[in-house]
Amino acid sequence: MKRLALLLFLLLPLSIEANEKPRPLKVDDLFRFKRVADPQISPDGKWVVYSLGIVDLEANKTVANLWLASTDKGDKGGPVKQLTASTKSDRHPRWSPDGKSVLFESSRSGATQLWIIDINGGEARQLTHISSEASLGTWSRDGKQIAFLSAVWPEYSEKPFKESDALNKKRADEKDKNPVKAKV
């Protein structure tokens, strides 16, 4: 029943002026919705970090930034603050085990890499600089290591990191320069 009520609420027009007649929902209305994604509750349960995406129709893209909301259930709810403000998308936030910082992926440096930001403010700093990009980072339980996903060519995976990264970059550059854009 709660899901049905929520669905009906979301399908109502976004803004109805006093003189505006009700009308059917249009596709353009859907693009005006903000997209909440990937909520993550802090280790102490006091905060939730999430990605909030806004569609930019002119640029034909969605820009997402990270937001923090308190889980305080007071009358007005807890405070909400914007954690990142990038023109690129910041996605997949993950709390550090101590709850003091958030790991996320972003393309703000040109390629998707892992970044970290302190929840008390300050600038995000880039953690990875990998030619084959890095995404979907997750912390180890003790907070000393981070595992992440990076697509590499298999024939380079057994080589030392520095050599493997250089070979992956060379291969990606050759692929980008090749006029043939077919997948085998």
Gap between the Cα atoms of 130 and 148, Å rounded: 11
For the chain, 184 residues long, give each residue's pLDDT as a single digit of tens. Answer: 555 444 444 444 444 444 678 888 888 777 788 888 999 999 999 999 999 998 888 888 888 999 999 887 765 667 788 899 888 889 999 999 999 999 999 998 888 999 999 998 889 999 999 988 899 999 999 999 999 998 888 888 888 888 888 888 888 888 878 888 776 6
What's the pTM?
Answer: 0.76
